[in-house]
Structure 1
């Protein structure tokens, strides 16, 4: 059996697929992956024996460029066209398709599966895009909701209209080019009636609705047995556990002094600092021995050896830190990150920073809360409740879906 996994987004959209790849391979399934042409994505997938099929432009370049809201429809049209081209070729001979990543990319991939007549599953790595009467939707840039509208169901109707306005024309144009009819609503087409939610049910509990039969598999945590670099191990062994600070795939354009602020706030706590460079290219501010900078690294192993993790609140980083039992300070930047910050604070496993730009005072206050013995004890207790079988559950469900296909709509 052969399966195609298709995504477009940041590292947080690619890393979970690594976990699913490994589980599918263990079940004797051949796997292909379509993802942005970033070298670190290709290397990560190559590490589990998958040659990545590149689609679209570099995700890092697109994130750094931060296109304006007015440019979003054009960017989406380009991405949908790229999906149609790359996924059509990659899906040849495949028995099923998993679509995730940003909305227009998923819509394009699912359209290809529809044309080829192969079963498909739509997956999200955070629940905030799934319609729910229990909370409002996220607003797209430049398309804020009317301030006088507070009913959640009405807001979700407006959300569907925004998505159609942004992506509908480009999607239907590309669908027409391969003989497919237009879709009524892009969002409904992407999710269907039974979308998958690949998050941990303790960290991210889904409240059921009558509209969607959501399948929550648990987070897709990839196995990672890569040893920590020798120089990093030497730094860790040389003193007390440091505080890690890193912002993953976030460019941090609005917080250019993030590394300086973080290091000074960490030092003020009497702690050593470990700086993850990430897409923000964070760097040390001096050559003192109490600080160390690291690039790509096994965070699953690293986070068990730190005093706390200061991060942007991506779903993957939040889950990894929670599973490691490390207290967290979440400095949310965009999209779903304020949600994860709120979950960390509500569960008592860390602190939510107020806003995306840390200052010495604000970060110091958050660190003080996160570094208490009570927070560490709570973080350790919650760590043992996080499921580790999400990718295995998803792999088994996926193969069952392929063998017994159902109508997504």
Structure 2
């Protein structure tokens, strides 16, 4: 079985969960993913072979390339997928494709060329056309403000995706003897995509055109102990507030860290700061803050008063499972959606915009730290499914047999 992705930690970690479940059922698994050191270490730690593909995802993200370079980057991604996935797929019976759309298109093209089964997976439903909501706009390709009909907007979305990625995909497909694709989005999503999200956090309403299989989120049970120094910090006082932005680069990271710590202190709380791809750090040498790198979030979130984060699907789900109230400061893509879901469920607050001020973050923290929010977060935590990866693994093996 080959699992293929290109993206951030949020694109890689769910596939680790699926890989482990597949192995428990007797399948052999390997993964195509970006060559970043943290991904390589993560996969080596669980014994899943990594076939590196493309350039560093972290370097690409933190470089903040211009929107006009999207077609060129898509061509590189697709070509890289064709090279790496073709070699990695030797002897495989099925391929699971996810991650950035051009990368998934390249991987699915390899499966088509080799005649093996393939499944397209998304870790957020906003890429799936649905009449009750509008699509996300790609950077530099905003929709006309006068167009408000969702059906028309989805048609424009398909046109935009074709303009960005169609030529690159067709050129690379021709190089392996495949015909051109009329609709890139439709090719990648297919008629029966898998949605690997929790149905409470991310309820799928259904559409007549898509037979979506919602498996639940793919989560790896993390049994790692917290570092001794972090445990000592947690034990030394009341539960702190966690502040971290995952794989978001945050070019104003120093200001964000300073603002966040000041707002947390104003609530009378201590702070755990996660470095992440933004490379957040301590703002002074006071003893009420502690900085962490890669850490067991499942264990840590169970010991904090609240989680301030960017709104990635994985972090949102982990915090929800832990019963930790959340403050979501969305930066891009699907993150405003997850912020809204947190607010709608009453398990935290959605910050308005990507750049918090002392006043705005203080207000959001006040809401998240209210007793009623903690009670609601505890109640919702009991409803979050933990079997999504097991469900997906069984579906895959049943389909193969």
TM-score (norm 1): 0.97
Check the 8 A contact 2:244/2:309 in 1, yes or no.
Answer: yes
Q: Which residue of 1 aligns with 2:189?
A: 191
Check the 8 A contact 1:255/1:357 in 2, yes or no.
Answer: no
Tell me the alpha carbon deviations over residues 280-328 of structure 1, each in whole angstroms, 9 at most, x when there is no partner: 0000011111110000000001000000000000000000000000000
Check the 8 A contact 2:323/2:377 in 1, yes or no.
Answer: yes
Check the 8 A contact 1:194/1:213 in 2, yes or no.
Answer: yes
Q: How does 1:45-124 map to 2 (within 5 A)?
A: 45-124=43-122
Tell me the alpha carbon deviations over residues 163-201 of structure 1, each in whole angstroms, 9 at most, x when there is no partner: 000000010111111110111100000011000000000
Q: How does 1:227-246 map to 2 (within 5 A)?
A: 227-246=225-244
C-alpha separation in 2, matches of 1:116 and 1:206 = 32
C-alpha separation in 2, matches of 1:47 and 1:78 = 29
Check the 8 A contact 2:36/2:57 in 1, yes or no.
Answer: yes
- Say yes or no: does 1:312 pair with 2:314: no
- Say yes or no: does 1:42 pair with 2:27: no
Check the 8 A contact 2:241/2:305 in 1, yes or no.
Answer: yes
Q: Which residue of 2 aligns with 1:292?
A: 290
Deviation at 1:148, TM superposition (A): 1.1
Aligned length: 401
Deviation at 1:45, TM superposition (A): 1.1
Q: Which residue of 2 aligns with 1:164?
A: 162
In structure 2, stretches of 5+ residues that fail to align are none
Q: How does 1:360-399 map to 2 (within 5 A)?
A: 360-399=358-397
Check the 8 A contact 2:243/2:309 in 1, yes or no.
Answer: yes
C-alpha separation in 1, matches of 2:236 and 2:70 = 48
Check the 8 A contact 2:241/2:270 in 1, yes or no.
Answer: yes
After TM superposition, where is structure 1 displaced by more than 3 Å over at least 4 residues in a row? none
C-alpha separation in 1, matches of 2:276 and 2:263 = 20
Q: How does 1:136-285 map to 2 (within 5 A)?
A: 136-285=134-283
SS at the partner of 2:46?
A: coil
Tell me the alpha carbon deviations over residues 118-152 of structure 1, each in whole angstroms, 9 at most, x when there is no partner: 00000000000000001000000111111111111
In structure 1, stretches of 5+ residues that fail to align are 404-409
Deviation at 1:256, TM superposition (A): 3.7
Deviation at 1:47, TM superposition (A): 1.5
C-alpha separation in 2, matches of 1:156 and 1:256 = 38
C-alpha separation in 2, matches of 1:44 and 1:288 = 32
Tell me the alpha carbon deviations over residues 356-408 of structure 1, each in whole angstroms, 9 at most, x when there is no partner: 001111100000000000000000000000000000000001112222xxxxx
Check the 8 A contact 1:255/1:358 in 2, yes or no.
Answer: no
C-alpha separation in 2, matches of 1:170 and 1:256 = 38
Deviation at 1:254, TM superposition (A): 4.2
- Kindly report the root-mean-square deviation, in angstroms, between the aligned alpha carbons of the 2 structures: 0.6
Q: Which residue of 2 aligns with 1:406?
A: none
Check the 8 A contact 2:253/2:280 in 1, yes or no.
Answer: no
C-alpha separation in 1, matches of 2:141 and 2:272 = 38
SS at the partner of 1:305?
A: coil
TM-score (norm 2): 0.99
SS at the partner of 1:169?
A: helix
